[in-house]
Amino acid sequence: MAIERILKDDASEEKGERARMASFVGAMAIADLVKTTLGPKGMDKILQSTGRGQSVTVTNDGATILKSLHIDNPAAKVLVDISKVQDDEVGDGTTSVVVLAGELLREAEKLVASKIHPMTIIAGLLRAFHHCIWVLSCLTSSNDQIAEKFKMDLMKIAKTTLSSKILSQDKEHFAKLAVDAVLRLKGSTNLESIQIIKKPGGSLKDSFLDEGFILDKKIGIGQPKRIENANILVANTAMDTDKVKIYGARVRVDSMAKVADIEAAEKQKMREKVDKILAHGINCFVNRQLIYNFPEELFANAGVLAIEHADFDGIERLALVTGGEIASTFDNPESVKLGHCKLIEEIMIGEDKLIKFSGVEMGQACTVVLRGASHHVLDEAERSLHDALCVLSQTVNDSRVLFGGGWPEMVMAKAVDELARTTPGKRSHAIEAFSKALVAIPTTIADNAGLDSAELVARLRAEHNKEESNAGIDVISGSVGDMSELGISEAFKVKQAVLLSATEAAEMILRVDEIITCAPRRREDRM
């Protein structure tokens, strides 16, 4: 007995088979959970939180679903992580990466059961992975030299990305929005300068792209509603000290007149601050904190537009976009960078008034205004659009493009099968397993569309055995279609990231042979 008591009382460990079993089962369960959201006919999930207000999220985005789950199984957490990374890295393919990793483990489990060492399996999987990337990179096409064609490529990629999301009904409209927004970025992957504003009301079709920057605020009373050639000072400072503010301050006075003196002094202080701010030669002042009516009146008299209580995101983005800096002291005006824009005006969207800054310094800035029936629709639309924007901005940098719709998976599966036949030893089983896992993606796409996946995938395989085939699954007609005619494209970068993350995650989980769970801390230990 003495030997077994290495770990503390409640700590548990699982060894060998059982540990591997637990990690395989957990990972596959996660994969099966998001499997149904894959592809153009994938379904959505409703996530309801148990916290205050029981907020409800309706989503199709693999990363969002997995982020919201509280998972106990350690291997499942690895899969949640890779989908998060995929979301940050390229934006799309969050579901595919989890499904692929799950399938790799499903195949690996069979191999482990037939007494092949995990390390041998890993060696085979890695060999297959490198082969896949090589095959894919040979088959990409790139049109970054010809602007028109490149824009068509981007449109196709955007439509493919959006077709599995809530925006699929108006995907022409949104693909155009996304492509226009990304082409304005001129090759930077910084999506900060594309701002997305959500306004309930109207339909998704009413969404539009507006050049310039829109701040979700109203213009104060008695201030100019329209300013041309604006110089903007963006600040984060307190403009509300026209009353004695120090809590618990006791001031003894012998008459009311003295109180009036104190207030006058306060007012004078405020007036000086406003004069300092006006000394910057500005005609628009945006503050993050509130501006009391007295300084607001002073600004209005000077003909300066003062905006108070702008949210922090708005402020940072506004400073970035207009080329200014956020200031909090105003003693030396020459060292503060002001923002500039050609026109500030008030616009109406639905019921709300907003302030629009057009002709800003950063030419690439623009705002997408999303309209929709309810907050849930808008949130999901924003996520979908964000995915599309991420993928497009990555594609602008790495312009290699592949066909979609299960075409790349079939090509890779075929290449990997051929590799398996020429590889001696046990590794070839693992390589074969990789090709089986790849085929799972077109299979799932077909399953989700309610088609006979076995039949379709067999037909696809036959098509791909001919030379130079562009065959993929056409979910709409329910048969095998030509991907180049249908215009279904994907970015090479996304596929590469999917393969890389899925292989590495599977490798990590395969290496596990023991799970040690720490004992929970007891309350009374602290005394």
- Which candidate in 37, 57, 64, 95 is catalytic? 95
- List 37, 57, 59, 94, catalytic entry: 94
- Annotated catalytic residue 95: yes
- Cα separation, 167 vs 29, in Å, equals 28
Residue with token string 């037939």: 114
- Tokens describing residue 19: 């540990």
- Distances from the Cα of 3 to the Cα of 6, 7, 18, 387, angstroms: 7, 10, 21, 53
- Is residue 503 part of the annotated active site? The answer reads no
DSSP sequence for 202-265: S-GGG-EEEESEEES----TTS-SEEEEEEEEEE---B--SS---TT-----SSHHHHHHHHHH
Phi (first) and psi of residue 428, to 5 degrees = -60, -30
Q: 79 and 102 in contact (C-beta within 8 Å)? A: yes
Percent of the chain that is helix, strand, coil (3-state, to 5):
50, 20, 30
CB 333, CB 240: distance < 8 Å = no
* CA gap 451, 443 in Å, rounded: 9
Distance CA 315, CA 324 (A): 10
Question: 136: which 2 tokens?
Answer: 């894919």
Task: Return all residues near 445 (Cβ < 8 A) that are at least 6 apart.
Answer: 38, 39, 40, 41, 405, 406, 473, 475
Torsion on CA atoms 380, 474, 398, 171, rounded to nearest 10: -40
59 annotated active-site = no
Active site residue 275: no
- Listed residue (196, 220, 223) closest to 309, CA to CA: 220
Q: What six digits make up the tokens of 241?
A: 């000290």
> Rounded CA gap, 211 and 362, in Å?
11
Amino acid at 96: S
**Nearest by Cα to 96 from 473, 501, 430, 507:** 501
Pick the catalytic residue: 170, 387, 417, 474?
387
Longest dimension (CA), the chain: 102
For the annotated catalytic residues, the residue numbers are: 61, 94-95, 387
